[in-house]
Each structure stands twice: as structure tokens, then as C-alpha cells.
Structure 1
């Protein structure tokens, strides 16, 4: 288990790298199976999967039910290459019209470990900075801790 590394390699990008102690097939499944993603994506809060069509052009929508209210997120899948890569748009209901493009790349490190690299491209540097200062790091760590527990229990 490792900590996520968050960097800003370009003016409008956030890059996150994290190694998971699980084979690539297990990590891929946790990201593409609605029943599994509901168990970790919402930081431990109840996550309603309204729609999750994991295919090019498919729509996804999640609603997180937390102590501070409900938060909706959605987007469209632009590319789905099994066990390798997912490219999707990402929009939070709280900031309509501010759409990021997220690319998740899955790398088999051998010995049952997987590197997940996520790059988010924002429309402007200000939108990127707004995301960085939104508390995303805390939410990311909470979600990835929940994912670690889920991955350890999957076979």
C-alpha cells in the first residue's frame, strides 16, 4: 500500500499516481463494475450508481450521499481499452459547465501490483487550481483507502 502522489505537470493538469497491492485485473474490475465502485468511490459514504455504461460514448452518473448533503457527478466515456486505459469527462453538479477530461492508465508492475496513473485536464489553470484547493487530496486518500480494503477482499 502506498500514498498517492499528486503533481501538476502542466498548467491545466493534475496527475495522480498510486500503486495498489492487487493484480491489474482486480483493479480494473474495481473501476468498471458498478457494484464494486459503489463500495469505494464515495469515500465511505453511500454512493448511488445512477448510470454506468462503461463503453465509448457511454454515460456515467454517481450521487454521493454524505453528512453534508448529496453531491452528483457525471460524464461520458470517450475511450475504454480493457485493462489499460479509460478516458472520460468529469463534471460535478456543484460547478455545472466546468468539465475536466480524466485519463486513467493501468500498468501491471508484476508481483501482483498495479500502478494507476490518472491525469485530469482542465479548461483553464484556474479550474485546475480550484480543484486542487477543494480538498480533493483528502477525498482521494479516503477513497483509495476504501479501495485498498475492497481489493484485499476480492479474489
Structure 2
């Protein structure tokens, strides 16, 4: 991991691991079963990581409802399009897989949308927790401990969902 910067911070949903290239945030991982992807790697900070840590802390305390960070997620053109739509969602807003599919010009591709949402390298900052089934149900979450993590994030933003 040369030219990679990394820090970890505590949060209400478990430890977070933030990775940057020195200019932009490239990934955010939520602890799963007590581990993070780069647990064995020493922390090495940079200004963008310090800013991200500050903004995430403010988000978790409820004093921040949007992020103003340089980000550089890596993915296919399709994934980038889906993540771009997710980034448009604000605090407390939700969408469906079908609505995302329509927004990126792929109506009927809700399953592919689900794959792109699940591959989001910047959860919380690019709010993939805000995606629900067409009937408002929670269908899954790949970050942290899965659905319990998503439930916490939805509750934090006061986003309603169907049981």
C-alpha cells in the first residue's frame, strides 16, 4: 500500500477505516465481525483523511447532514453512474432500486443496480444505506454487520421503511 493513506476511527456502528490517495478519499470500510480490511497496516494520515474523520464524527453526532469531501471511487462506468445518483440523495431521503435503474437509463435492471449499490466503496458518504425495495422494505446491506448497520443508519437519518 504505497502512496496510500489510512486512518481508523470509532463510530456507533463499529470502527471505520478510511483510505485516501493523498488528494481524495478512495474507500470507507465499516468493521465486520471485529475486523477491517487493512487491520495489519499502520495508520498514515493526510489532510483529506483528517477532514473526512471530522465530518464523519459530526455526522454521527447529528451536527452534519451532508459531506463536502473530495472522493475518488473506483468502479465501472455503470457503477460510477449508480454511485453518482446515490450521491444526489440527501440526509433523510430514500430511493428504490427501480428508481435508481430508471435514473441511470437502465429500467428493469434493479438486480444489477443492487450489485452496484453493494459495491459502493464509500458507504455513508455516498449513501447506499438510503436504498430500499420498491415497497419500502429493507432487502440487505453489505456494509458493516449488514442489516443491523443499515437499520442504525436509517434510524439516525429518520428514514422510514416498511417492515
TM-score normalized with structure 1 length: 0.28
Query: Relative CO higher for 1 or 2, CA cutoff 8 Å, sep ≥ 6?
Result: 1
- Higher share in strand: 1
TM-score scaled by length of structure 2: 0.27
